[in-house]
Amino acid sequence: MTESDGPLVLGIETSCDETGVGVVRGTTRLLSNVVASQEDLHSEYGGVVPEIAARAHLERLNATAEKALAEAGVSLEEVDAVAVTAGPGLAGALVVGVAAAKALALAASKPVVAVNHLEGHIFAALLDYPEFTPPAVALIVSGGHTMLVHFEELGCYRLLGDTLDDAVGEAFDKVARLLGFGFPGGPEIDRAAGRGHASALDLPRPMRGEGFDFSMAGLKTAVVTALRNLHSSGERVRRDDVAASFQRAVVDVLVEKTVAAADSTGVPSVVVCGGVAANSELRQEMKRACEESGLQLYIPQPRLCVDNGAMIASAGAFRFEREGPDLLDFEANPSLLAPFDSDDLSAGPSGLGPAAASGALGGSALTGEGGSH
Ligand SMILES: Nc1ncnc2c1ncn2[C@@H]1O[C@H](COP(=O)(O)OP(=O)(O)OP(=O)(O)O)[C@@H](O)[C@H]1O
Ligand SMILES: [Mg+2]
């Protein structure tokens, strides 16, 4: 496909707490990507409040769409299709995006395309690497998901491994809260880890060498236990060192399993996507491990890893070209199944939950500037 090929697609993303609208040409050419973050609205609650998210999407979507069209230098009339995240995600938040997409499509007589948010995360890679072609293994690491998938072609995915409990982004957010960092915790842990020593706490590598599933809840508990033990023995540990130790344990497991999945499927390429793919140590270590193993790594720039409208537009362009538009009667589906082992986007519940951060440590052995204890 040359750069000028493919439909001009406007993509709308409102599945969680980012109001995102992007414009792309075909699956690979990014024309604009505007994200109105709601971090400021949710941070005082330590997690995403669904009602606040839905209301903020409603307030911000028009302006975000206008800005995305203006930055792309196109009008709504020129757009070939409107794509929107249909699920998985927060019900009220999804409904706002889906209703807006349908309204735009009706008003401007445009076709509408329902997009699976997780397929959107994979397509973010095409926007940075137009040359990318499967077969590949993708590691999807986000606020709600931790998955390894194998695909011989785009649009047809096989699930290799999933988390048995918390998603990795959820684990980052929970440990961040435990350490007294703000929300979202992932970027804060990332920054703190850069200042800390990863050998400070001896943490487990859950399910290392045990297939492609993940378990993250135990790691959070291990951090709590290690801190309690230090506290009761009167020892102190810097908060940055805890962040570094936790992050190193997570990265070790993610990198090892991803490379093992690529080896076992015999693919030459690895895609890493989803919000946690913005993590600097994960990016660095994955690059090192892929180079060592002769694998080609496709990891989108951080602003394409976190939720955004351009990735939805790219996946929408693919679905639109392959299957045509969706009927206007599709509905937002908070528990839309991941599009794995099946092309069916209308399937039933997958058990997605918002990244609900919880848990606080009482008496703590923490030290360090900005620490809460
Ligand atoms: N630099 C980083 N290091 C670690 N985690 C990060 C970083 N940046 C963002 N995250 C984490 O990424 C998550 C958000 O990712 P994303 O926006 O893809 O999730 P989501 O859309 O809420 O979930 P899903 O995609 O599963 O529906 C949060 O948990 C956040 O803490
Ligand atoms: Mg996401």
Cα–Cα separations (whole angstroms), residue 361 to 27, 221, 286: 45, 11, 32
Q: Are 69 and 75 in contact (CB under 8 A)?
A: yes
Statement: residue 357 has pLDDT above 80: no
Instruction: Sketch the domain layout of the chain as residue ranges.
Output: 8-129+302-338, 136-299
279 pocket-lining for ligand 1 (C-beta < 6 Å): yes
Statement: residue 303 has pLDDT above 70: yes
User: Angle 353-350-316 (CA atoms, 0-180°, nearest 5)?
Assistant: 95
What pLDDT band is residue 330 in, cutting at 50, 70 and 90?
A: very high
42 pocket-lining for ligand 1 (C-beta < 6 Å): no
* Number of the ligand closest to the Cα of 35: 1
Superfamily of domain 136-299: ATPase, nucleotide binding domain (3.30.420.40)
Residue nearest (by alpha carbon) to ligand 1 atom 29: 169
Contacts of 370 (CB under 8 A, 6+ apart): 180, 239
pTM for the full predicted model: 0.90
Residue nearest (by alpha carbon) to ligand 1 atom 23: 143
Q: Which pLDDT score is estimated for 346?
A: 31
113 pocket-lining for ligand 1 (C-beta < 6 Å): no
Superfamily of domain 8-129+302-338: ATPase, nucleotide binding domain (3.30.420.40)
Ligand 2 mean position, distance from CA 35 (Å): 13
97 pocket-lining for ligand 1 (C-beta < 6 Å): no
Q: Which of 117, 170, 172 to probe ligand 1 with, by most ligand atoms within 8 A of CB?
A: 172
Residue nearest (by alpha carbon) to ligand 1 atom 4: 186
Which token pair is 132?
A: 């990318």
Statement: residue 368 has pLDDT above 60: no
What pLDDT band is residue 259 in, cutting at 50, 70 and 90?
A: very high
- Between helices 280-293 and 239-265, what is the axis angle to 10°? 30
Q: Are 138 and 311 in contact (CB under 8 A)?
A: no
Q: How many CB atoms lie within 10 A of CB 264?
A: 13
Same fold, 8-129+302-338 and 136-299: yes
198 pocket-lining for ligand 1 (C-beta < 6 Å): no
Contacts of 80 (CB under 8 A, 6+ apart): 7, 8, 9, 110, 111, 320
Q: If DSSP codes are grouped into helix, strand and coil, which group holds residue 168? A: helix
